[in-house]
């Protein structure tokens, strides 16, 4: 890590942290919540690395006031959370479950009281199980159900949410959930998973219309992006890299920005009906960018069902997840989006960026995570370089506030600025929490002209939230 001071960011830059409902909330059956595809997947033996589930996770369901106080102490100006669809519509359709929405109502009010902008993601992969039983995102009707759900949430929270994000990482959800089966719902369809791409995008477009009918709040989508680096310079390697780039980076961006689907992918034209592409291309106020690492790609072996093969990139340090640490990939990605899409590209917010390391409390209970500090420092410098190069980036969210339940990896991977004891739920801010607060977010001790401290009533709020949520 360089000893040079971290460069300043533009006035009004949005600093935030991100989480998702199934990974932190717990309260699996509280207040009438129904089952999601991740409940089903996690409770299937052999699918989760440590055999755990998200039934309790970080118990944010009971401890959300404590977590809001941690955010206030960190000094963030925004919190990106997700709403659990099965809390709002346990069966995936029909009227809202008021008791489920009550939780998010309290959360949004507590964030506002702490001076933190609520940023709500409507779908972070926890599809109600009854919708999956009817076909899930392979079924066109799920897009219509998603718009109805968006309307219900906006009707309750639309006066206070400062940014709406429709979908989180639809590429990852399609590829790992429907393509390879590593994530819920565990389907292994490879390229036959493409309907899950189109129907997610259609659901996004329909949800944009529903949100804008209810609220004036800006609307975004959060895509996962990965700069593609061919393993060699042969025509076959370059063609493989182009195919993977079209799948990972363009499939969920070209149609959003009015360019239709990439020709390289050969999607079934029967998927697209009527004005689908116009619905999908509803103007975005913000493009959410999630970045973790670039991808190495080479030509596939003869007989492979895929037009590319992913390979490890040599020469990079790696996180505990085995992902290469390539900070300049963030600058490359952001400038590449600007160059590829030009005036079609809306302002960008980096809605996820972070790293997993094996963080262990020392004898005094402190958690030192110098690797995460180095990671964040380098990525923030790359982000500032992209801004200096003319890319319109207006915010940055760290993944994640808390160590959480990391999907198929269970509790084995820790991404948090705050350490969580998964046995007791105890929270311990790591050294990266203090570094981010003091070096990036509020080096002068303030946030947007206000002192960034935990609200004085955090403890009573925690007691109230626990009592109300039982």
Residue 82, helix vs strand vs coil: strand
- Reply yes or no on whether 352 is catalytic: yes
Q: Which of 25, 66, 332, 352 is catalytic?
A: 352
DSSP per-residue letters across 44-75: STTSSTTS--SSSTT-HHHHHHHHHHHHHHHT
CA within 13 Å, CB half, 348: 30
> CB of 176 within 8 A of CB of 32?
no
Enter the tokens of residue 29. 């059956």
Max intra-chain CA distance, the chain: 65
* Short-list 194, 57, 52, 102, CA closest to 465: 102
Neighbours of 444 (CB within 10 A): 7
| 332 counts as catalytic | no
Tell me: cis bond preceding 433? Omega within 30 of 0 counts: no
Q: Which of 169, 301, 332, 409 is catalytic?
A: 169
The torsion angles phi and psi of 311, rounded to 5 degrees, stand at -135, 155
**Residues of the binding site:** 23, 124, 168, 292, 399, 406-407
Are the CB atoms for 404 and 23 separated by under 8 Å? yes
Q: What's 450's DSSP letter?
A: E
Closest CA to 223 of 109, 352, 131, 409: 352
Give the residue ranges of the annotated binding site for substrate: 23, 124, 168, 292, 399, 406-407
Helical (H) or strand (E) element with 374: helix 370-388
Take residue 442 and report the two structure tokens written for it: 């509020």
Catalytic residue numbers read: 169, 352
């Amino acid at each position: 890590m360089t000893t040079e001071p971290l460069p300043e960011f533009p006035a009004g830059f949005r600093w935030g942290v991100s989480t998702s409902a199934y990974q932190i909330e717990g309260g699996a059956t509280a207040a009438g919540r129904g089952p999601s595809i991740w409940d089903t997947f996690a409770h299937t033996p052999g699918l989760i690395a440590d055999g755990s589930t998200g039934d309790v996770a970080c118990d944010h369901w009971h401890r959300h006031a404590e977590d809001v106080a941690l955010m206030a102490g960190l000094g963030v100006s925004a919190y990106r959370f997700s709403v659990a669809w099965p809390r709002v519509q346990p069966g995936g359709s029909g009227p809202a479950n008021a008791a489920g929405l009550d939780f998010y109502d309290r959360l949004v009010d507590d964030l506002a009281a702490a001076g933190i902008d609520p940023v709500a993601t409507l779908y972070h992969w926890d599809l109600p199980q009854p919708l999956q039983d009817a076909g899930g995102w392979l079924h066109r009707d799920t897009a219509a159900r998603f718009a109805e759900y968006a309307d219900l949430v906006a009707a309750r929270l639309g006066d206070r949410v400062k940014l709406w994000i429709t979908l989180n990482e639809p590429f990852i959800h399609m590829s790992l959930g429907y393509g390879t089966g590593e994530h819920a719902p565990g389907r292994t369809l490879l390229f036959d998973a493409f309907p899950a791409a189109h129907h997610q995008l259609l659901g996004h477009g329909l949800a944009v219309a529903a949100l804008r009918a209810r609220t004036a709040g800006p609307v975004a989508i959060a895509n996962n992006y990965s700069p593609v680096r061919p393993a060699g310079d042969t025509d076959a390697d370059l063609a493989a890299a182009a195919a993977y780039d079209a799948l990972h980076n363009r499939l969920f961006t070209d149609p959003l920005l009015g360019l239709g689907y990439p020709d390289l992918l050969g999607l079934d034209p029967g998927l697209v009906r009527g004005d689908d592409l116009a619905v999908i291309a509803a103007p975005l106020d913000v493009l959410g960018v999630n970045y973790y690492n670039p991808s190495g790609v080479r030509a596939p072996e003869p007989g492979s069902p895929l037009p590319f093969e992913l390979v490890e990139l040599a020469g990079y340090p790696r996180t505990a997840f085995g992902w290469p640490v390539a900070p300049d990939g963030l600058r490359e990605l952001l400038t590449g989006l600007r160059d590829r899409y030009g005036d079609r590209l809306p302002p960008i917010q980096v809605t996820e960026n972070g790293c997993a390391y094996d963080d262990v409390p020392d004898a005094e209970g402190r958690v030192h995570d110098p690797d995460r500090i180095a990671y964040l420092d380098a990525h923030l410098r790359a982000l500032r370089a992209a801004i200096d190069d003319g890319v319109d980036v207006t915010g940055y969210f760290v993944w994640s506030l808390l160590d959480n339940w990391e999907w198929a990896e269970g509790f084995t991977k820790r991404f948090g600025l705050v350490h969580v004891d998964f046995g007791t739920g105890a929270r311990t801010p790591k050294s990266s929490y203090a570094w981010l607060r003091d070096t990036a977010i509020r080096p002068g001790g303030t946030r947007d002209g206000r002192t960034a401290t935990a609200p004085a009533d955090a403890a009573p709020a925690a007691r109230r939230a626990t009592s109300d949520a039982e």
